[in-house]
Chain A
Amino acid sequence: MATRDEIEAWLAACSTGDRRAFGALYSATSAKLFGICLRVLDNRSEAEEVLHDVYVKIWHNAGKYRVNGLSPMTWLITVARNTAVDRLRKRRSTTASMDQAEERPDPAPGPEAQAIAASEADRLNACFDELDEGHAQAVRGAYLDGETYADLAARFEVPLNTMRTWLRRSLLKLKECLSR
């Protein structure tokens, strides 16, 4: 894995139009970002299209990266996750309008949740463990499965406002734990 300094240097060079830096950045980071796109979309050809869009965005916005205060890998991951989730939501809304009886998302914990159960090593996972199981699933579902408040309210069979209150309180609990 490339270091933070290397990724920052490549991003800075990309913002000045350095194609070789883009190639280096792509080689070092595309497998991670493709893994994320595949995880969110669960569809190879869509993940390929999204990864294409992600790197086009990265190239065009490399110069803005420094002002947002994120670490470079977090910025790349956030661009990939957000682009993949946008795509997933677009797909879902198309599917929903074609088929009113949309299937409810599977509430079983995904592979990450299972992996997380197997290891309490890092802080984030330990803090997720402090949340009620359903609340932890809701936060993960929103991040990795692009679930909206409406999706989550349907999944947990609570009114939308209740869902939102739950989730906001879970976020604060998570934040409180992470800043301990």
Chain B
Amino acid sequence: MSDELPDRDADKALAGEYALGLLPADEAAAFESRLVNEPELRAFYAEWCEDLAGLTDRIEPVAPPPWLHARIESELFGSTGHKTSFMRWVAGFLGGLAAAALALGLIFGADLVPSGPQAPTDPVYVAEVSAEDGSLVVAASYDADAGELFVDRREGDAREGRALELWLIAGENAPVSLGVLPGEAQAALAVPEGLRPQLDGGVLAISDEPPGGSPTGAPTGDVLAVGEITNT
């Protein structure tokens, strides 16, 4: 590149081009080998990184989905003998719930309405999916014959202009959507055949999502409520 700049200026510009990733591969490699021995060049490069990073100041932070942390740690640290932070988080969350509330009798009382979807009389699995502060409580029970999960929203609702989406988390797998909870408090959600075996020992979670549910297939909003699936 010949553009008649004094050497020092040429190096400053070069360091900027390198920081922006604009240099052709051969020039980038040559720049890197010079970096090793030239402190001034390193200083130019570091200054550019600082200055250019300022371009991200106005980018709003966005919380990544909660399962991503667990996935990263399981890659870095392996899953054996180490509870990932997501599972620790779930465990802590569940620990906060009174054990009695998980008792079957309490979850499925006798207050079922006669119309609309009915709770299965002999569910294989049940769960109470609740927020830590009790602001959202959804009881779920699974009818193995119908392959349907009956949900009963007892407390709370989606925020204005938002939806509640129900997720199944099996082991350390990424959450899989079981669908958006309808406006009605009670509903039956069909569970795809491939997912049914994963209910055993899994966890249900509810996240805050745009209308119609997460556009990405993974939870995008806050996780509002969690509940362990228990075998009856």
Q: Mark A134-148, 1 if CB is under 8 A from B, else 0.
A: 000001101110101
Report whether B216 and A34 are in contact in the complex, using a CB–CB cutoff of 8 Å.
no
Is A48 an interface position by the 8 A CB rule?
Answer: yes
Report the contact-size class of chain B (Cβ under 8 Å from the partner).
35 or more
Task: Give the chain A neighbours of B49 by CB distance below 8 A.
Answer: 70, 74-75, 78
Chain B at the A interface: SS class: helix
Q: Mark B61-76, 1 if CB is under 8 A from A, else 0.
A: 1111100110111011
Within the complex, what minimum Cβ distance (angstroms) separates A50 from chain B?
A: 11
Is A7 an interface position by the 8 A CB rule?
Answer: no
Report whether A85 and B21 are in contact in the complex, using a CB–CB cutoff of 8 Å.
yes
B12-20, B111-119, B128-136, B199-207: which lies at the A interface? Answer: B12-20
Is A87 an interface position by the 8 A CB rule?
Answer: no
Is A124 an interface position by the 8 A CB rule?
Answer: yes
Contacts A30-B69, A148-B22, A168-B3; A77 near B63 (Cβ below 8 A): no
A81, B50: Cα distance in complex, Å? 13
Is B85 an interface position by the 8 A CB rule?
Answer: yes
Task: Give the chain A neighbours of B57 by CB distance below 8 A.
Answer: 122, 124
Is A32 an interface position by the 8 A CB rule?
Answer: yes
Q: Which of A44, A55, A77, A143 contacts B20 (CB 8 A)?
A: A143
Report whether A36 and B64 are in contact in the complex, using a CB–CB cutoff of 8 Å.
no
Is B215 an interface position by the 8 A CB rule?
Answer: yes
Contacts A31-B64, A70-B46, A112-B55; A164 near B73 (Cβ below 8 A): no
Q: Which of A151-180 contact B (CB under 8 A)?
A: 164-165, 167-169, 171-172, 174-175, 178
Report whether A171 and B59 are in contact in the complex, using a CB–CB cutoff of 8 Å.
no
Report whether A168 and B13 are in contact in the complex, using a CB–CB cutoff of 8 Å.
yes
A96, B71: Cα distance in complex, Å? 32
Is B195 an interface position by the 8 A CB rule?
Answer: no
Report whether B50 and A26 are in contact in the complex, using a CB–CB cutoff of 8 Å.
no
A32, B63: Cα distance in complex, Å? 8
Q: Mark B186-226, 1 if CB is under 8 A from A, else 0.
A: 00000000000000000000000000000111101000000
A31, B46: Cα distance in complex, Å? 24
Within the complex, what minimum Cβ distance (angstroms) separates B219 from chain A?
A: 11
Within the complex, what minimum Cβ distance (angstroms) separates B142 from chain A?
A: 29
Report whether B52 and A143 are in contact in the complex, using a CB–CB cutoff of 8 Å.
yes
Task: Give the chain B neighbours of A164 by CB distance below 8 A.
Answer: 1, 3, 22
Report whether A82 and B21 are in contact in the complex, using a CB–CB cutoff of 8 Å.
yes
Is A107 an interface position by the 8 A CB rule?
Answer: no
Is B9 an interface position by the 8 A CB rule?
Answer: yes
Is B160 an interface position by the 8 A CB rule?
Answer: no
Q: Which of B1-35 contact A (CB under 8 A)?
A: 1, 3, 5, 9, 12-13, 16-17, 19-22
Task: Give the chain B neighbours of A70 by CB distance below 8 A.
Answer: 46, 49-50
Given contacts A69-B42, A70-B49, A78-B49, 17 further A-B contacts (CB under 8 A): A31-B62, A31-B64, A32-B56, A32-B61, A39-B59, A45-B217, A48-B64, A51-B64, A52-B68, A73-B53, A112-B59, A124-B51, A142-B21, A142-B22, A149-B22, A171-B17, A172-B13
The 9 listed contacts between A and B (C-beta, < 8 Å) are: A31-B63, A51-B64, A59-B76, A71-B50, A164-B3, A167-B22, A168-B3, A169-B13, A174-B51
